[in-house]
Structure 1
């Protein structure tokens, strides 16, 4: 059967740590997890064969990626389906840029070429679902990976095509989790059983995000002063102004009572006055917040997804830091720095 879009991508469930020796005996591979845009790329066979890019949710967006389309027509064989991530390189910043990726992903067809010239896109492949018109979903992962590597070798594929790094060595995987996640855009690991089939829409893989302990200042809450439901956190910028950096997941009832003991109503002129806070990144749902006096420091657990100084994923509250002051908190824009101590 020839695969045609849309195809539901296989997914991963979240875990907190690299599995131990018992899990490893089953045989798994580790891939570096990128914090980018999931995409499936199809090179279709037959007269007038076209190239199609599909998002995770099934939208066809090839008109937004003219640079990839041109490279695919020139370099990739027909009847191919790749699963991977779209990334964008910002030459001025010298790094992968999620902000630029968002701009390109939202572009209209007429503005896409100019954006492509400024921010070239790359496709980081991690799975091969079809080759030469032959569907490979039932193949074990190890065989799909072997064919994917052979594809890159046989066609001498280079930029904008790249292979996601992969290893079967747990020590190497732990090293990646501890060191490579310092690189912008690399946020953790994906663990895949070597014998697993590709099951569209099924969470058959495991993802692990690196998390770091860090500090931020409680600037607002939802709920009440005595029973806060979640915390809106900030850090001071270079001008000394408190800037919002993220929010926590909902607090447990016992933690809520403990935090409430240290909160006080905000004084006039709070830096968050008039600011609208949304429930999640990219959401239009606005939180109903209560401003609090910004003099309490919270220790939180954060992953590596930080854009323009703001944490894109909810933070996990750890504890109130009564032993430090707001001046000890990392400055706005620093990201998930190590805890103060």
Structure 2
């Protein structure tokens, strides 16, 4: 492979913003695997955000790139998977695509095929475009990729702030999680937070039902396990709360000790899990980090915490939540799914058919 921009390349990043900035180019924020694609003839490399190749996990994307890309190009974008109806992004299905067995990779490529959404052009032919302004790179990207390919798409973009605000609200219903704003004169700067991302921020009152210890040792808390009651009165596991200072982790561990209980007296008993309830698994380890222990210490579900979250994926928080405050005034039984704001459904196909800048 001989390209003017060679792998690996760390992608350009975004810093969080609380509002949509004026006088930018606005794009929907995709919820997938960030990837920089390098194509030189039949050679294709899909590089991940951490510079490790994703190529072997997405053979159908490799074939789509060969059919849609120019013969020699470097493109920044996102690998995504849609739900079976093609209406909404499915990040959980995307995660399952990273599997060590080649036979499993091939099977999943057929069952849950991925697509590539492009949003920046770093090189074309013999030309390194990284020092050209983004507005120019975007125009070249639109010329370089087809408008109607089934598996390779150019992300929608607009310079209309009012239209961007509408996208921010509507596109969440298709599984997207906000906006990315780029200055028209922005040069491509790998690993630099020079774009702006605006994400949905909401709060919810949750029951604290357990904790995991911190990786540094047994004297500090790693994360709090959160629950919400469903319509049947069952406490469902919805995610975790983390991002504490080390001093606060040690304080929280001490504060939780009076609530420690046994699994037999806990709503997430292993018998309930074996019956099919979605709860943390006993002695579970992470698929993505084999050394990471996901077992937890059960707590009596008596304390309520208000957490900040961006959005739900199914019946769970998509990302780690952030602690806002403790809610001693709340009855744990009042912490139900009814309090959550649910986005209006929006078809993913309609997102992809919006016009180009």
Q: TM-score, normalised by structure 1?
A: 0.79
Picking from 104, 127, 131, the partner of 1:134 is: 127
Indicate yes or no: 2:176 matched with 1:174.
no
Counterpart Cα distance in 2 of 1:205 and 1:294: 41
Q: Deviations over 1:231-277 (max 9, x none)?
A: 321123565443322222355889x79x969x745476123467569
1:119 maps to what in 2? Answer: 112
Counterpart Cα distance in 2 of 1:121 and 1:40: 15
Counterpart Cα distance in 2 of 1:211 and 1:281: 28
Counterpart Cα distance in 1 of 2:75 and 2:83: 24
Structure 2 vs 1, CA of residues 270 and 206 (structure 1 numbering), >3 Å: closer, same or farther? same
Deviates more, 1:28-37 or 1:292-301: 292-301
Picking from 81, 89, 93, the partner of 2:74 is: 81
Counterpart Cα distance in 2 of 1:210 and 1:72: 32
1:160 maps to what in 2? Answer: 151
Structure 2 vs 1, CA of residues 282 and 51 (structure 1 numbering), >3 Å: closer, same or farther? closer
1:313 maps to what in 2? Answer: 319
Q: Deviations over 1:42-96 (max 9, x none)?
A: 2204xxx322211112222323222222222223221111110001123258532
Indicate yes or no: 2:287 matched with 1:294.
no
2:184 maps to what in 1? Answer: 194
Indicate yes or no: 2:341 matched with 1:337.
yes
- Deviation of 1:108 after TM superposition, in Å, equals 3.5
1:183 maps to what in 2? Answer: 174
Counterpart Cα distance in 1 of 2:282 and 2:19: 35
Alignment gaps of 5+ in structure 2: 214-219, 271-280, 343-357
Secondary structure of 1:95's aligned partner: coil
- Deviation of 1:99 after TM superposition, in Å, equals 1.7
- Deviation of 1:193 after TM superposition, in Å, equals 1.3
Structure 2 vs 1, CA of residues 293 and 125 (structure 1 numbering), >3 Å: closer, same or farther? same
2:68/2:152 contact within 8 Å kept:
no
- Deviation of 1:312 after TM superposition, in Å, equals 4.1
Q: TM-score, normalised by structure 2?
A: 0.76
- Deviation of 1:192 after TM superposition, in Å, equals 1.2
Counterpart Cα distance in 1 of 2:323 and 2:329: 16
Secondary structure of 1:294's aligned partner: strand
Counterpart Cα distance in 2 of 1:42 and 1:5: 7
1:203 maps to what in 2? Answer: 193
- Deviation of 1:120 after TM superposition, in Å, equals 1.6
Counterpart Cα distance in 1 of 2:66 and 2:294: 46
1:269 maps to what in 2? Answer: 265
Secondary structure of 1:73's aligned partner: helix
Q: How many residues align?
A: 319
Alignment gaps of 5+ in structure 1: none
Counterpart Cα distance in 2 of 1:156 and 1:228: 50
Counterpart Cα distance in 1 of 2:67 and 2:48: 22
Counterpart Cα distance in 1 of 2:108 and 2:222: 41
2:87/2:174 contact within 8 Å kept:
no
Coordinate RMSD, CA, aligned: 3.5
2:34 maps to what in 1? Answer: 38
Structure 2 vs 1, CA of residues 251 and 67 (structure 1 numbering), >3 Å: closer, same or farther? closer
2:88/2:173 contact within 8 Å kept:
no
Deviates more, 1:69-78 or 1:270-279: 270-279
Secondary structure of 2:187's aligned partner: coil
